[in-house]
């Protein structure tokens, strides 16, 4: 191994705040920056209070959530983007106007219910202002594609009555459209905004607190120590740390930007090609969105849309997520073998279990979160309690440091843990009292005020990180409102069903292409909401299980960020890799083979997502069917990974790559006798290839 390969590994945790979508880092300077910071803190406190006590009507919470999003969003645009004072003042005015729409819904809540469908002139003005502001915020924060798509649907609602069949609708006047989009629960204040306000925001703040508490350092040290010495170690570390980060954040492109500045140069320094290094970061970061329990926040929207327990969504995602990251590990291993790269020197790497021992308290809130989710508690309760336990942990640390003897510190933590855990019996009030007591104690003792500042910063950072998700949920309400009002979704569904009656596979391919095209520049959440509204019911009508049909469109919404020509995640990695985004996208598409294969396999064998049993289960039992389907998927990934890289035990000829691909395709096909043929061809080819590799090694020939 060369000296370059023995460099001390770089710490992988970001030192700078990551940008949020279209905004630079930070809150701005001067008085305006402080105002934006305080607004972000107030936004988080409002949401946490509602999550803990839920004392406001749902419609008011949704309206205030959007109002805060607009106020903070335009405030940050003013502070970070405006070129001059008049522009800055104009953006702040838009933010205040947006917040006023939320206050209007709160003040006139009862009146708006009574006059639903018969809005007054002030109602229409407020509603129209809200729609315009949501479009402008989406354009500024999320880019043009999502705003343009929503505008197309809005224009269709206004002018679709002039189109030819089958697109024509009966027509709607201005007042009815404003009522639908700005005041009803099928428009801006629809299910996506409800989920953003009730679930997503809590988990985003939860992730911000965990990151501030040192969870990233724990993940990175653990990943470095565990897999850094493997063949292709730096890239393996990138895959594992991104998968672990996905358990608490699930923000794909932002993860690329935040961690790629460290992982990509490290991979390049150890000999990986620039395009491959960028692809590893992009693929593994986007994989965070399918990693339970958070799953890029789509899991909450899916559970709410399908009216099923959140745990059912997570259960369906577990095996595909493991296969996805397994495929990444495998191809990194093969690529390193092909290039003759080794791992990092073990002497230079941290002990993973020492990292766990040092930071083990950080795992407790995450473990509590997962327990509560699978114990049947609602996501909002689980997220709120997990966040509260994290705050208890952070606030208790400086107080524990003041206690001298180890035995007394242990007693302190046990007492604090029992007090915090008593919420399971006595409710949220007891946890609030514990936090209040810790805040008072931190104010009184040395080091406590710095810890309180960490908590305040986490509240602000969580609100800032929630901006792109919340604005996306608001703007996509325009699309959902149009689909509901005009019935155009039924036309699309009928078209897919008519094709699928003759060829289900063709329907799946068309649905996949729809997701990939829609995903060109549109984030995963709005992509999923739109495509699930259109294609989800169609696939269900064709016999695809409910959860599988929604997972299908969700997965390909994520793959859109890796698939050229747009490939947002790949282009985000391009500046750090100093390579073409298109080349990175092509490599990422190969690395993400499981993301393309698993959804199709799950449609034909739902046991892969722990859904409906098939004929194997009837004969041998459900566990046997699940094990067999997973084994098939693993073998297909092994074969296609080798075919993509061109290496297994040695370099492969073109015809060998074709045979490996064909064998994997037979295993995936799920047609009569294809399994038998696929296994026979796979085992025969692998045996022959390994025999040839040994022969070549023995004779020393190439």
DSSP string, 243-261: HHHHTT---HHHHHHHHHH
Residue 560 counted as domain residue = no
First to last CA, the chain: 22
For the segment 140-146, the average pLDDT, to the nearest whole number, is: 83
Asked if pLDDT for residue 607 goes beyond 50, the answer is yes
Q: Are 476 and 526 in contact (CB under 8 A)?
A: yes
pLDDT averaged over every residue in the chain: 83
Residue 631 tokens read as 């084994």
Asked if pLDDT for residue 319 goes beyond 80, the answer is yes
Q: Are 308 and 262 in contact (CB under 8 A)?
A: no
The residue out of 135, 155, 185 marking a domain boundary is 185
Residue 426 counted as domain residue = no
Q: Which of 121, 130, 153, 129 is nearest to 63 (CA)?
A: 130
Counting the structural domains of the chain, the total is: 2
Asked if pLDDT for residue 14 goes beyond 60, the answer is no
pLDDT tens digit sequence for 533-543 = 877 787 888 88
Q: How far apart are CA 558 and CA 418, in angstroms?
A: 41
Residue 208 tokens read as 């911000």
pLDDT tens digit sequence for 338-396 = 888 887 877 777 788 887 777 777 788 888 888 887 777 777 778 888 888 888 888 88
Residue with tokens 């604090």: 416
Q: Which of 5, 53, 648, 42 is nearest to 388 (CA)?
A: 53
Band of residue 126 on the pLDDT scale cut at 50, 70, 90: very high
Band of residue 11 on the pLDDT scale cut at 50, 70, 90: very low
For the segment 248-277, the average pLDDT, to the nearest whole number, is: 78
Residue 136 counted as domain residue = yes
- Which range marks the domain in which residue 102 is found? 30-185
Residue 171 tokens read as 């027509």
For the segment 285-307, the average pLDDT, to the nearest whole number, is: 80
For the segment 682-700, the average pLDDT, to the nearest whole number, is: 85
The pLDDT assigned to 124 comes to 94
The pLDDT assigned to 250 comes to 58
Beta bridge partners of 20: 23
Asked if pLDDT for residue 16 goes beyond 80, the answer is no
The pLDDT assigned to 6 comes to 38
Coil vs helix vs strand at 582: helix
Band of residue 184 on the pLDDT scale cut at 50, 70, 90: confident
Asked if pLDDT for residue 8 goes beyond 60, the answer is no
pLDDT tens digit sequence for 322-344 = 999 888 889 888 988 888 888 78
- 412 CB contacts (<8 Å, ≥6 apart)? 396, 399, 400, 403
Output 63 or 9, whichever has higher pLDDT: 63
Band of residue 668 on the pLDDT scale cut at 50, 70, 90: confident
Band of residue 100 on the pLDDT scale cut at 50, 70, 90: very high
The residue out of 185, 212, 235 marking a domain boundary is 185
For the segment 83-105, the average pLDDT, to the nearest whole number, is: 94
Residue 492 counted as domain residue = no
Residue 587 counted as domain residue = no
Residue 600 counted as domain residue = no
pTM for this prediction: 0.79
Q: Are 310 and 379 in contact (CB under 8 A)?
A: yes
The pLDDT assigned to 546 comes to 87
Task: Give whichever of 378-387, 528-537, 626-635 has the largest mean pLDDT.
Answer: 626-635
The residue out of 185, 206, 233 marking a domain boundary is 185
Asked if pLDDT for residue 98 goes beyond 60, the answer is yes
Output 23 or 131, whichever has higher pLDDT: 131
Asked if pLDDT for residue 412 goes beyond 80, the answer is no
Residue 532 has φ and ψ, to the nearest 5°, of -70, -30
Residue 256 counted as domain residue = no
Band of residue 591 on the pLDDT scale cut at 50, 70, 90: confident
The pLDDT assigned to 4 comes to 38
The pLDDT assigned to 133 comes to 96
Task: Give whichever of 316-325, 572-581, 611-620 has the largest mean pLDDT.
Answer: 316-325
Q: How far apart are CA 260 and CA 239, in angstroms?
A: 11
Q: Which of 622, 591, 593 is nearest to 609 (CA)?
A: 622
Q: Are 635 and 571 in contact (CB under 8 A)?
A: no
Asked if pLDDT for residue 17 goes beyond 60, the answer is no
Asked if pLDDT for residue 489 goes beyond 80, the answer is no
Band of residue 5 on the pLDDT scale cut at 50, 70, 90: very low
Q: How far apart are CA 374 and CA 68, in angstroms?
A: 32
Asked if pLDDT for residue 587 goes beyond 90, the answer is no
For the segment 199-204, the average pLDDT, to the nearest whole number, is: 83
User: In the chain, what are the helix, strand and coil shares in percent, each to the nearest 5?
Assistant: 80, 0, 20
The pLDDT assigned to 524 comes to 73
Residue 323 counted as domain residue = no
Residue 218 tokens read as 């724990």
Asked if pLDDT for residue 73 goes beyond 60, the answer is yes
Specify burial of residue 650 (Cβ count, 10 A radius: 0-12, 13-18, 19+). Answer: middle
Asked if pLDDT for residue 280 goes beyond 80, the answer is yes
Residue 312 tokens read as 């059912």
For the segment 313-324, the average pLDDT, to the nearest whole number, is: 89
């Amino acid at each position: 191994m060369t000296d370059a390969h023995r460099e001390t590994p770089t710490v992988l945790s970001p030192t700078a705040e990551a940008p949020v979508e279209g905004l630079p880092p930070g809150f701005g300077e001067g008085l305006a920056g402080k105002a934006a910071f305080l607004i972000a803190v107030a936004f988080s406190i409002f949401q946490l209070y509602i999550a803990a006590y839920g004392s406001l009507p749902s419609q008011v919470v949704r309206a205030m959530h959007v109002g805060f999003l607009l106020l903070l969003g335009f405030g940050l645009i003013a502070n970070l983007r405006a070129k001059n004072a008049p522009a800055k003042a104009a953006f702040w005015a838009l933010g205040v106007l947006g917040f006023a729409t939320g206050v209007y819904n709160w003040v006139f809540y009862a009146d708006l219910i009574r006059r639903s469908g018969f809005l007054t002139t002030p109602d229409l003005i407020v509603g129209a202002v809200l729609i315009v502001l949501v479009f402008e915020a989406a354009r500024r924060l999320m880019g043009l594609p999502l705003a343009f798509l929503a505008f197309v649907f809005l224009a269709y609602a206004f002018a679709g009555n002039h189109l030819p069949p089958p697109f024509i609708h009966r027509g709607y006047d201005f007042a009815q459209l404003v009522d639908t989009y700005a005041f009803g629960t099928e428009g801006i204040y629809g299910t996506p905004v409800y989920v953003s306000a009730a679930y997503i925001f809590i988990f985003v703040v939860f992730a911000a607190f965990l990151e501030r508490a040192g969870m990233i350092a724990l993940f990175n040290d653990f990943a470095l120590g565990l897999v850094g010495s493997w063949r292709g170690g730096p890239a393996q570390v990138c895959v594992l740390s991104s998968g672990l980060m996905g358990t608490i954040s699930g923000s794909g492109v932002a993860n690329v930007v935040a961690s790629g500045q460290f992982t990509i140069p490290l991979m390049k320094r150890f000999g990986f090609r620039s395009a491959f290094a960028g692809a590893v970061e992009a693929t593994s970061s986007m994989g965070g969105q399918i990693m339970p329990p958070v799953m890029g926040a789509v899991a909450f929207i899916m559970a709410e849309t399908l009216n099923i327990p959140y745990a059912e969504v997570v259960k369906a995602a577990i095996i595909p997520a493991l296969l996805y990251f397994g495929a990444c590990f495998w191809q990194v291993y093969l690529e390193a073998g092909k290039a003759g790269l080794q791992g990092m020197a073990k002497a230079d790497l941290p002990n993973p279990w020492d990292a766990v021992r040092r930071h083990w308290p950080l795992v407790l809130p995450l473990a509590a979160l997962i327990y509560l989710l699978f114990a049947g508690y609602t996501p909002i309760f689980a997220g709120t309690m997990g966040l509260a336990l994290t705050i208890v942990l952070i606030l208790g640390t400086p107080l524990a440091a003041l206690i001298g003897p180890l035995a007394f510190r242990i007693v302190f933590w046990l007492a604090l843990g029992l007090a915090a855990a008593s919420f399971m019996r006595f409710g949220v009030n007891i946890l609030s009292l514990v936090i209040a007591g810790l805040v008072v104690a931190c104010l009184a003792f040395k080091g406590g005020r710095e810890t309180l500042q960490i908590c305040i910063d986490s509240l602000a950072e969580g609100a800032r990180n929630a901006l792109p998700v919340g604005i996306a949920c608001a703007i996509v309400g325009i699309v959902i409102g149009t689909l509901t009002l005009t019935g155009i979704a039924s036309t699309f569904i009928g078209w897919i069903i008519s094709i699928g009656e003759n060829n289900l596979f063709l329907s799946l391919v068309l649905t996949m292409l729809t997701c990939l095209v829609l995903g060109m520049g549109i984030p995963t959440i709005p992509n999923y909401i739109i495509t699930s509204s259109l294609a989800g019911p169609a696939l269900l009508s064709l016999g695809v299980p409910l959860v599988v049909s929604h997972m299908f469109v969700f997965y390909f919404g994520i793959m859109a960020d890796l698939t050229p020509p747009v490939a947002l995640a790949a282009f985000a990695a391009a500046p750090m890799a100093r390579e073409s985004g298109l080349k990175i996208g092509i490599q990422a598409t190969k690395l993400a083979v499981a993301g393309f294969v698993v959804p199709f396999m799950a449609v034909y064998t739902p046991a892969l997502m722990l859904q409906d049993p098939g004929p194997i289960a009837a004969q041998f039992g459900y566990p046997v069917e699940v094990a067999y389907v997973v084994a098939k998927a693993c073998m297909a990934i092994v074969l296609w990974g080798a075919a993509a890289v061109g290496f297994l035990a040695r370099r492969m000829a073109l015809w060998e790559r074709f045979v490996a691909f064909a064998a994997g395709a037979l295993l995936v096909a799920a047609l009569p006798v294809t399994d038998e043929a696929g296994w026979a061809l796979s085992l025969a080819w692998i045996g022959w290839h390994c025999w040839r590799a040994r022969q070549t090694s023995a004779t020393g020939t190439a």
